[in-house]
Amino acid sequence: MKASIYDVARYCGLSVVTVSRVLNNTGNVREKNRRKVLDAIEALDYRPHAAAQSLARGHTRIIGLMMTTLHDRFFETVVNEINRALARYGYFLALSVSSDVRSRETHDLMHEDRVDGLILLSLPEEDRYVAQLKKRSIPFVLIDNQRRDHMVPSVLTDNYYGGYEAAKHLLSLGHTRIAHVCGPEYFLSTRERKRGFLDALREGGLSPFAVVQGDYEIGFGYNTAKSWIRSGKLPTAVFAGDDYIAVGIVNALAEEGMRVPEAMSVIGYDDQYIASRLRPYLTTVRQPAENIGQSSVELLLKWIGAGSTASVTVEWKPELVIRESTAPLKA
Partner DNA sequence: TTGAAAGCGGTACCAT
Partner DNA sequence: ATGGTACCGCTTTCAA
DSSP state of 326: -
Question: E-assigned strands of the chain?
Answer: 62-67, 92-97, 117-121, 140-143, 154-157, 178-182, 210-213, 237-240, 265-267, 284-286, 313-316, 319-321
Is the dihedral angle over the CA atoms 258, 213, 245, 170 positive or is it negative? positive
Return the range that interacts with a copy of itself (CB under 8 A); candidates 5-13, 94-102, 174-182, 289-297: 94-102
Number of residues that bind a copy of itself (CB under 8 A): 52
Angle between helices 5-12 and 16-24 (to 10 degrees): 110
Closer Cβ to a copy of itself, 167 or 282, answer by number: 282
Least Cβ distance, residue 53 to a copy of itself (angstroms): 8
Least Cβ distance, residue 89 to a copy of itself (angstroms): 10
Q: In 192-228, which positions are buried (b, 16+ CB within 10 angstroms) versus exposed (e)? A: bbbebbbebbeebebebbeebebebebebbbbbbbeb
β-pairing, 319-321 with 284-286?
antiparallel
Least Cβ distance, residue 43 to DNA (angstroms): 15
- 94 binds a copy of itself, rule: CB under 8 A: yes
Closer Cβ to a copy of itself, 205 or 257, answer by number: 257
Choosing among a copy of itself, DNA, none, which partner's interface includes residue 28 (Cβ < 5 to 8 Å by kind)?
A: DNA
Footprint of a copy of itself on 147-166 (CB under 8 A): none
- 21 binds DNA, rule: CB under 7 A: yes
User: CB 294: neighbour CB atoms within 10 A?
Assistant: 19
Binding mask 42-81 for DNA (x = CB under 7 A): ----xxxx--xx-xxxx-----------------------
Residue 94 φ then ψ, to 5°: -105, 125
Q: Are 138 and 129 in contact (CB under 8 A)?
A: no
Footprint of a copy of itself on 40-79 (CB under 8 A): 47, 49-52, 54-55, 60, 62, 70-71, 73, 76, 79
- 2 binds DNA, rule: CB under 7 A: yes
Residues near a copy of itself (CB under 8 A) are 2, 47, 49-52, 54-55, 60, 62, 70-71, 73, 76, 79-80, 83-84, 86-87, 92-98, 103-105, 108-109, 111-114, 217-219, 222, 244, 247-248, 251-252, 254-255, 273-274, 277-279
